[in-house]
């Protein structure tokens, strides 16, 4: 597409998380010998201005809120001009490194978190995807009932995992990115009608929820569908499932657009184009 892939954004956000952990006084929480760590439970991402090849980018981070064992953190990526490139709200749990058992923050860490409090800048807050708590509907059985397209099937390898043997956070987004062409191959890519020839796509917003953590040797299956939209945006839903147990590893929702790759502008579908893609939408499909 000529711009930074979503999987790389998430990888950079994890570097940001390591940096912020250090500022909180937890410099070694992602090291192999760590006793405690920060486990990412979910992320909300806004993609605000695309980053093309060689674009210099910088990230800042801070704390939005803190409860007994969890924290909502904010990372903001900017272009050299100061324009927003992306924002990440990352929900983390303070947990034991090996078994992921949550436990309270120390008073010392709470004091550091208070000193690192921040606010969401204008234009970076959630827009089309809410952050309310959800009870996931994702399962292999439900995917079969809904007829969700299989868009990925594979296994977690050792080099896909973090220092504690769990699949790295960016691995979920990278697999979702790889799945999207398979979804469009099955249902048609929005925007390819009307004589257009150079059509791609872009994500404007994502919410990713981690329900469990696959380890090396675990199999993963991606099921995907389109939950709705309008002439400019489509709401995509992806479930990452364990094909053995049928339980979810993760679920995600994305706001996607068709992109004119020459003009770098969002394509507005005609009424006939919209009517055609609407045939494949699955009403009620969610996280």
Digit-coded pLDDT (tens) for 76-118: 999 999 999 999 999 999 999 999 999 999 999 999 999 999 9
pLDDT of 201 strictly over 90: no
Tokens of 192: 């390819």
Digit-coded pLDDT (tens) for 8-67: 899 999 999 999 999 999 999 999 999 999 999 999 999 998 888 888 999 999 999 999
Same fold across 1-125 and 135-287: yes
Kindly report the pTM of this predicted structure: 0.94
Distance of CA 71 to the CA centre of its chain: 18
Please tell me what DSSP assigns to residue 168: P
Tell me the β-bridge partners of 116: none
How do the domains of the chain map onto residue ranges?
1-125, 135-287
Statement: 135-287 belongs to CATH 3.10.129.10 = yes
Q: Distance between CA atoms of 83 and 60, rounded to whole angstroms?
A: 13
Environment class of 185 (CB within 10 Å of its CB; exposed 0-12, middle 13-18, buried 19+)? exposed
Backbone dihedral angles phi then psi of residue 113, each to the nearest 5 degrees = -65, -40
181 within 8 A of 256, measured Cβ to Cβ = no
What is the architecture of the domain spanning 1-125?
Roll (3.10)
Q: How far is CA 265 from CA 23, 49, 202, 244, in A?
A: 39, 12, 10, 42
Digit-coded pLDDT (tens) for 139-165: 999 999 999 999 999 999 999 999 999
């Amino acid at each position: 597409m000529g711009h930074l892939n979503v999987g790389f954004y998430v990888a950079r956000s994890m570097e940001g998380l390591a940096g912020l952990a250090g500022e909180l006084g937890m410099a070694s929480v992602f090291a192999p010998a760590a006793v405690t760590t920060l486990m990412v439970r979910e992320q909300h991402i806004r993609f605000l201005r695309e980053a093309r090849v060689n674009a210099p980018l910088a990230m800042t981070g801070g704390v939005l809120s803190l409860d007994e064992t969890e924290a909502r953190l904010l990372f903001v990526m900017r272009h050299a001009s100061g324009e927003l490139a992306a924002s990440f709200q990352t929900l983390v749990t303070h947990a034991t490194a090996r078994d992921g058992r949550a436990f309270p923050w120390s008073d010392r860490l709470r004091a550091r978190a208070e000193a690192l409090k921040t606010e969401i800048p204008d234009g970076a807050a959630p827009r089309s995807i809410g952050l309310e708590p959800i009870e996931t509907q994702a399962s292999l059985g439900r995917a079969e009932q809904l007829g969700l397209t299989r868009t990925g099937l594979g296994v977690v390898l050792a080099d896909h995992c973090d220092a504690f043997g769990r699949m790295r956070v960016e691995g979920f987004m990278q697999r979702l990115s790889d799945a999207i062409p398979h979804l469009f191959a099955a249902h048609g890519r929005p925007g390819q009608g009307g004589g257009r020839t150079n059509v791609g796509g872009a994500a404007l917003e994502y919410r990713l929820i981690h329900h469990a953590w696959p380890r090396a040797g675990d199999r993963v299956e991606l099921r995907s569908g389109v939950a709705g939209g309008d002439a400019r945006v489509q709401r995509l839903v992806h479930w990452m499932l364990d094909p053995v147990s049928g339980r979810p590893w993760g679920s995600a929702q994305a706001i996607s657009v068709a992109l004119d790759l020459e003009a770098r502008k969002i394509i507005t579908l005609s009424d006939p184009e919209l009517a055609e893609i609407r045939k494949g939408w699955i009403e009620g499909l969610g996280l």
